[in-house]
Amino acid sequence: MSQDLVTFLNARLDEEADLARRCDGDGSGEWAAQGHTVDFGQGELAGFHPAVALHVALYDPARVLREVEAKRRVLARHEFSPAIGDPELPWDNRDDCQYDGEPWPCDDLLDLASPYIDHPDYPGHP
Ligand SMILES: [Zn+2]
């Protein structure tokens, strides 16, 4: 698993950003919940349980796009640093994360990937 997890995460972030943009996430207004109703900026839908309405509003496309961009910045910081195999540099003799020096993939990348562990393309998924 060298870059598999990074490729997998980028694909998930691309999907989430694409879906958010298709829900007019580039500026149609903020999603908001009020009681059983969700205001989607261009219209309202009623009939939700109030907790569900709040949950739906939490997935405001503009917020999702900001979250995707934040995750992309985290992903960009945690770059793969392959083992060099130089006996003069024994500390460089393993694949690790350039940002934190942990064995690859580092805990931060595994945490970013953990919500998708049931996805059929998850690296190592049976
Ligand atoms: Zn890292």
Q: What is the pLDDT confidence band of residue 91, given thresholds at 50, 70 and 90?
A: low
DSSP 15-26: HHHHHHHHTTTT
pLDDT above 70 covers what percent of the chain?
91
**pTM of the shown model:** 0.86
Query: How many of the other CB atoms lie within 10 Å of CB of 71?
Result: 17
| The total number of residues written for the chain in this structure | 126
User: How far is Cα 73 from Cα 6, in angstroms, rounded to an integer?
Assistant: 12
What's the 82 CA to ligand 1 centre distance in angstroms? Answer: 13
What's the 59 CA to ligand 1 centre distance in angstroms? Answer: 27
What's the 94 CA to ligand 1 centre distance in angstroms? Answer: 14
pLDDT for the residue numbered 57:
95
User: How far is Cα 73 from Cα 63, in angstroms, rounded to an integer?
Assistant: 15
Query: Which whole number is the average pLDDT over 109-118?
Result: 95
Q: Which residues pair with 80 in a beta bridge?
A: 97
Is residue 81 over pLDDT 60? yes
